[in-house]
Structure 1
Amino acid sequence: MRISTIQTFNNGNQGIQDNYAKVTRTQEQVSSGKRLLSPADDPVATVRLLQLDQEAGRLEQFKSNMSAATNSLNQEEATLNSVTNILQRVREITLQGGNGALDASDRQALAQELSEREEELFGLFNSRNARGEYLFGGFQSQTPPFVREPDGTYTYEGDQGQRSIQIAGSKQLAINDNGKDLFVDVGNVNRVVTDRTVPVADPATPFPRISLGVVEDKTAYDADFYPNAPVTVRIAPDGSSYEVFETANTANVLASGPIEPNEDNSLQVRIAGVVVTIDGELAGGEEFSIDRGNTADTGEKRSILQNIAFLRETLEDPGNSPEDKLIRRDKLAISLENIDNAMNSVLSVQTSIGARLNVIESTGNENAEVSLINTKVQAELSELDYAEALSRLSLESVVLQAAQQSYVKISGLSLFNLLR
Structure 2
Amino acid sequence: MRISTVTMYEQSVNSMNRQQGEFMKVGQQIATGRRVVNPSDDPQAASRAVGVSQAKAVTQQFADARVSARNSLSQSESVLNSVSDAITSAKTLMVQAASDTLSDVDRQSVASELRGIYETLIGQANATDGNGRYLFGGFNDDAPPFQKNETTGAIEYQGDLNVREQRIDASRLLPVVDHGQTIFRHGPGGDATDLFQTMETALEALENPRGPDFRDDINSVMRELDNSLDNVLTVRASVGARLNELDVVDAVGGNRMLNYEQTLSDLVDLDYAEAISEYSLRQVGLQAAQKAFVDIKGLSLFDYLR
Query: Given the two structures, how large is their TM-score scaled by the length of structure 1?
Result: 0.67
Shift of 1:410: 4.2
**Partner secondary structure for residue 175 of structure 1:** strand
Q: Aligned match of 1:378 in 242, 248, 264?
A: 264
- Show the 5 A alignment for 1:270-281: none
Shift of 1:330: 1.8
Q: Aligned match of 1:387 in 242, 248, 273?
A: 273
Q: What amino acid is aligned across from residue 46 of structure 2 in structure 1?
A: T
- For 1:417 and 1:53, the matched residues in 2 are separated by 60
CA contact (8 A) 1:159 1:178 kept: yes
**Quick check: 1:157 aligned with 2:48?**
no
Residue 202 (structure 2) aligns with:
311
Q: What amino acid is aligned across from residue 350 of structure 1 in structure 2?
A: R
Shift of 1:419: 6.7
Deviations 1:28-80 (A, max 9, x none): 22232221121110112112222232233333333322222222222211111
**Partner secondary structure for residue 377 of structure 1:** helix
Deviations 1:116-152 (A, max 9, x none): 2211111110001133321111111221101112232
Q: What amino acid is aligned across from residue 82 of structure 1 in structure 2?
A: S
Deviations 1:285-320 (A, max 9, x none): xxxxxxxxxxxxxx9712100111012112222436
Shift of 1:333: 1.6
Shift of 1:409: 4.2
Residue 40 (structure 2) aligns with:
40
Shift of 1:169: 2.5
- For 1:418 and 1:343, the matched residues in 2 are separated by 108
Shift of 1:346: 0.1
- For 1:417 and 1:46, the matched residues in 2 are separated by 51
Residue 367 (structure 1) aligns with:
253
Q: What amino acid is aligned across from residue 143 of structure 1 in structure 2?
A: A
Residue 52 (structure 1) aligns with:
52
- Show the 5 A alignment for 1:8-407: 8-150=8-150, 151-184=152-185, 186-187=186-187, 301-319=192-210, 324=212, 327-407=213-293
CA contact (8 A) 1:134 1:144 kept: yes
Q: What amino acid is aligned across from residue 106 of structure 2 in structure 1?
A: D
Shift of 1:21: 0.8
- For 1:59 and 1:53, the matched residues in 2 are separated by 10
CA contact (8 A) 2:146 2:159 kept: yes
Deviations 1:340-388 (A, max 9, x none): 1100110001101111111111211222222222222222222211222
Q: Which has the larger radius of gyration?
A: 1
- For 2:69 and 2:303, the matched residues in 1 are separated by 87
**Partner secondary structure for residue 100 of structure 1:** coil
Greater mean deviation of Cα atoms: 405-414 or 117-126: 405-414
Residue 278 (structure 1) aligns with:
none
Q: What amino acid is aligned across from residue 85 of structure 2 in structure 1?
A: N
Q: Closer, same or farther in 2 for the Cα pair 1:154/1:407, shift >3 Å?
A: same
Q: Closer, same or farther in 2 for the Cα pair 1:407/1:101, shift >3 Å?
A: closer
- For 2:10 and 2:27, the matched residues in 1 are separated by 25
Deviations 1:68-118 (A, max 9, x none): 222222221111111111111211222233323433323322222222221
Structure 2: gaps of 5 or more residues: none
Q: What amino acid is aligned across from residue 196 of structure 2 in structure 1?
A: L
Shift of 1:26: 1.2
Q: Closer, same or farther in 2 for the Cα pair 1:331/1:419, shift >3 Å?
A: closer
CA contact (8 A) 1:138 1:160 kept: yes
**Partner secondary structure for residue 177 of structure 2:** coil
**Partner secondary structure for residue 133 of structure 1:** coil
User: Number of aligned pairs?
Assistant: 304
Q: CA RMSD in A?
A: 2.4
Shift of 1:6: 2.5
Q: What amino acid is aligned across from residue 272 of structure 2 in structure 1?
A: Y
- For 1:300 and 1:80, the matched residues in 2 are separated by 19
**Partner secondary structure for residue 127 of structure 1:** coil
CA contact (8 A) 1:160 1:180 kept: yes
CA contact (8 A) 2:127 2:135 kept: yes
Structure 1: gaps of 5 or more residues: 189-298
Identity %: 35
Deviations 1:147-205 (A, max 9, x none): 11223211111011111112222222221110011112x239xxxxxxxxxxxxxxxxx
CA contact (8 A) 1:49 1:381 kept: yes
CA contact (8 A) 2:181 2:191 kept: no
**Which has the higher relative contact order, 1 or 2, with Cα contacts under 8 A spaced 6 or more apart?**
2
CA contact (8 A) 1:72 1:130 kept: no
